[in-house]
Structure 1
């Protein structure tokens, strides 16, 4: 959690360059969407405002999703020089299938992935391009941040999870040369995607799976984080939706664990670290099962005083973690100009145990689904809760560049 804050120099090293180099690469930005008519049009408009001179956007929609397709084609009409539409007719549908379909017509030498609700800084591609040049990376992972911490008691903790994950933990993963990539704001060279044959369309955590395979092959992954360049998102709108999302992520980790690509990592340290990380759903599920057992012991079993005292030892790291979370909440409010109130700190403390119980329950469900062989994709809904109402109007079309030609009808439907 605290890796990035070890020193001021370490914190600066996690950032994009303050003086980015001139653009050298062409980008293809993939934006899959399913039943995202409320948010996807605005996302495409914002992406079209990138200040980078050479990029294309491919929006992918399902053949059975006319609402989203209409919104996407309207956005393509506003930006005919930038946006192409791909219709995915695969059944059953999932995100990696959509990405692989669009990858077939991508023309960029670097491919980036964004989600349908993302708010993306207009200068992001410029600093990412520079980071590729500065480091010779195969992959650049940018920051993603949930924003609506005021929405509910659990959204506060969900926001902090993202903050520590992208601000610090992913940098530690990259330094350890074993990294489960994020689901968006991730950029991979076309050569590496051709080597990997795209994304694993049977995995519920295709981002993690791709990161593990690339790590196992020695790919260079660079993580960079500046608050101003962070892609902004929202928490799932309901606790049920978050429950399904977390189940899917956990089950995806279990699938990656079972696939065994991590065993190809070159050092024992990396393999043990991978085993620990990918086994996390099992550990959380075990915690969930132990909770009722612990309650029964409290009520029914008498133990010696020394044993009772020893059982309180886990409170020490728990309290330390809570203090770090409180400091992180203060820092989040400062860097994102969000007013953090006393009641938010109270919610942070009171939500600690319920949220851990919730995560354990989602982990138990993921293990059950995996044992049953149920790999169906459970989509996360989006409502645009992270967006400023003033920014929801469509942006004007970007003037066409003579070098960029709109896709033909055959390309669009390929």
Structure 2
């Protein structure tokens, strides 16, 4: 994975060309992937009779339009070329017919029994099953059996238009050709019975079928094996009387057919001993073969169809596995977050809890700034209001909007401004580290404001000498818009609840750039801030873990940051985050083999980050794809119920996270819409990051436009302040 990046000061002239190059990756490829997945899912639904299926059965109608010789004739009806004839099977000949297959379980067993007893049969296959199991159709042909059409989706053709009938026949032939390279002239209507059951609704269909060149085959001996009455009863019903010939109806699909197989194994030798022959229909009636070979473009078209169906089966099977994986990950993550977040809150909110001796010594606050003229004054003034002694160092990274001049003009004591040519955020932070006066260093973004207690709360964990870094509680300040509200939910639930869980597990993956603190000695041991990735905060956190330092979460160290307010800005930010996280994971991939205490991150943290921050978001859209499919084509009630169940689980986690952070629950109103729309945006961003990573592409720094409207709200006491207030209350 290429870690090379461009700084946020890229030449303006390159911007237009870069956007033109990125457009296909950002929009076209993700859309094509989604369209391809949906197409595969639709194709699978089509060949599983979930789409365009019609299972209505026409009730019996009058028979006055049906020729009498058809009603009184045999089970083979020929209406080709204007004829109106019927044929019967000669005495001592039986034509076994099997409907609705091929079935991957029962058809091979039926074929095995037929082969064992040297018998032939006719298999009336549906297009859906032939498309899915082409090898069984090929076996039928190879072993000398005849194959007939039974429509594609098994509808009652009495309800269908002639165009739908043509479509059912052509699709059925397409599947048959793709499976075995042949066409057939035999056809059996779904839900058909004896010839005398022909009525005014089915007869016009039979005439039309004949005009298309097909011989209609019904039956005159029904085994009724679909009722599963037992092998003895199936044999009794399938046996003709007085040595007469017959076309026997059986089934090799549509359910459990073990009784059919058992009956067949006894039926065949029993009637062969009585002088019966089991032939194909063409053999029994002394007709030309029903099969004709297909060559040329027609064959390749049919082969392509079968290939696509097989591909859709495999792809959708993989999607189902992916859905199971994402479902397990989502539920497991939520359960783990709830359990471990509760444990974290219970630990740090005890009255006697302390990281160690109180940290009261001054700290250095580093503020890297690039074109933050609209925000920098609020940022610096919020630091000046800190109730902990601070040294403020603003590192102007080549700003062109007068950021440095604004800070200098404020004339505040204890505030230093360092100017440098544009070199990127990691370089600005390292420059600040080199000029910091204190051992504990707080880092924040130039668009962020701190509460007065933030620095004090952030540095208290350094009372534990094993702590090398502390993550603060980053919060969205501009949460009144819909996009801001979605990010507010994400920050409170997806980031801070995660950090509580990772704190307990001892594998915090990221110190947020908006609010984090470090020991200078710890940073010195790992070489400072690295510019190898676009997620320098994740990179440095992983490096600290691997060096053996503890990284913890301070829930009361609140920082208010300005989240992106447009989809474009949000896209740019999350694209950088996602790509940078992948770079950091790849850079520290050898952590999985680290030994000793430092190996805990590799054994636990890195797999968790990979699963929950890379794999799970990439698979998350499967929930919505199957939701859409299930609503339109599947069991709608069950689908909606399952989706609502997941949403309720998310809402419970979100409500608990909001309660822990003492946030108003009203913002959760937008949670359902966030799950439908926001997740898709994050999916496309992550997919683009994957494409960039796999192709070794370069990604320039994305500078977001700020408004400077975020201020730190007052009146929210920290946990420590609440305990002190309770202790100062008079006893009543």
When normalised by structure 1's length, the TM-score is 0.77
Residue 409 of structure 2 corresponds to residue 74 of structure 1: yes
Partner of 2:366: 30
Partner of 1:325: 654
Residue 395 of structure 2 corresponds to residue 60 of structure 1: yes
| Aligned counterparts of 1:330 and 1:129: Cα–Cα separation in 2 | 24
Superposed CA RMSD: 3.4
Specify whether residues 309 and 261 from structure 1 end up closer, same or farther in structure 2 by C-alpha distance, changes over 3 A only. same
- The secondary structure found in structure 2 opposite 1:32 is strand
Which one has the largest radius of gyration?
Answer: 2
Shift of 1:69: 2.1
Shift of 1:374: 1.3
Shift of 1:11: 5.7
Question: What do residues 160-208 of structure 1 show as CA deviations (whole Å, max 9, x unaligned)?
Answer: 2211345432122122222122223211111111111111112111111
- The secondary structure found in structure 2 opposite 1:386 is coil
| Aligned counterparts of 1:369 and 1:34: Cα–Cα separation in 2 | 25
| Aligned counterparts of 1:14 and 1:135: Cα–Cα separation in 2 | 21
Shift of 1:252: 0.8
Contact map agreement 2:564 2:570 (CA 8 A) in 1:
yes
Q: Which runs of 5 or more residues in structure 2 are unaligned?
A: 1-336, 715-732
| Aligned counterparts of 2:640 and 2:584: Cα–Cα separation in 1 | 34
Partner of 1:361: 684
Specify whether residues 16 and 169 from structure 1 end up closer, same or farther in structure 2 by C-alpha distance, changes over 3 A only. farther
Q: How does 1:2-401 map to 2 (within 5 A)?
A: 2=338, 3-6=340-343, 9-10=346-347, 12=349, 21=358, 23-24=360-361, 26-53=362-389, 55-75=390-410, 77-79=411-413, 82-90=414-422, 93-134=423-464, 136-152=466-482, 154-165=483-494, 167-180=496-509, 181-226=511-556, 229-259=557-587, 260-266=589-595, 270-271=602-603, 273-278=605-610, 280-288=613-621, 313=642, 316-329=645-658, 335-336=662-663, 341=666, 344-372=667-695, 373-387=697-711
Contact map agreement 1:174 1:222 (CA 8 A) in 2:
yes
Contact map agreement 2:493 2:653 (CA 8 A) in 1:
no
- The secondary structure found in structure 2 opposite 1:144 is strand
| Aligned counterparts of 2:477 and 2:341: Cα–Cα separation in 1 | 20
| Aligned counterparts of 1:14 and 1:38: Cα–Cα separation in 2 | 41
Specify whether residues 60 and 292 from structure 1 end up closer, same or farther in structure 2 by C-alpha distance, changes over 3 A only. same
Specify whether residues 240 and 22 from structure 1 end up closer, same or farther in structure 2 by C-alpha distance, changes over 3 A only. closer
| Aligned counterparts of 2:388 and 2:550: Cα–Cα separation in 1 | 24
| Aligned counterparts of 2:514 and 2:582: Cα–Cα separation in 1 | 20
Question: What do residues 353-409 of structure 1 show as CA deviations (whole Å, max 9, x unaligned)?
Answer: 11111110111121222234213111233223332799xxxxxxxxxxxxxxxxxxx
Shift of 1:248: 0.8
Partner of 1:394: none
Contact map agreement 1:15 1:224 (CA 8 A) in 2:
no
Specify whether residues 352 and 161 from structure 1 end up closer, same or farther in structure 2 by C-alpha distance, changes over 3 A only. same
Question: What do residues 4-29 of structure 1 show as CA deviations (whole Å, max 9, x unaligned)?
Answer: 235873461599869983613x3111
> Which protein is richer in strand relative to its size?
2
Specify whether residues 258 and 128 from structure 1 end up closer, same or farther in structure 2 by C-alpha distance, changes over 3 A only. closer
Specify whether residues 136 and 18 from structure 1 end up closer, same or farther in structure 2 by C-alpha distance, changes over 3 A only. closer
Specify whether residues 101 and 186 from structure 1 end up closer, same or farther in structure 2 by C-alpha distance, changes over 3 A only. same
Shift of 1:329: 4.5
Higher relative contact order (CA 8 A, sep 6+): 1
| Aligned counterparts of 2:640 and 2:671: Cα–Cα separation in 1 | 24
Question: What do residues 215-264 of structure 1 show as CA deviations (whole Å, max 9, x unaligned)?
Answer: 122201221112xx411122212121111111111101110121125335
When normalised by structure 2's length, the TM-score is 0.46
| Aligned counterparts of 1:15 and 1:109: Cα–Cα separation in 2 | 27
Q: Which runs of 5 or more residues in structure 1 are unaligned?
A: 391-414
Specify whether residues 385 and 20 from structure 1 end up closer, same or farther in structure 2 by C-alpha distance, changes over 3 A only. farther
| Aligned counterparts of 1:29 and 1:119: Cα–Cα separation in 2 | 12
Contact map agreement 2:355 2:460 (CA 8 A) in 1:
no
Specify whether residues 386 and 207 from structure 1 end up closer, same or farther in structure 2 by C-alpha distance, changes over 3 A only. same
| Aligned counterparts of 2:700 and 2:591: Cα–Cα separation in 1 | 24
Specify whether residues 88 and 7 from structure 1 end up closer, same or farther in structure 2 by C-alpha distance, changes over 3 A only. closer
Contact map agreement 2:450 2:712 (CA 8 A) in 1:
no
Specify whether residues 157 and 312 from structure 1 end up closer, same or farther in structure 2 by C-alpha distance, changes over 3 A only. same
* Aligned residue-pair number: 370
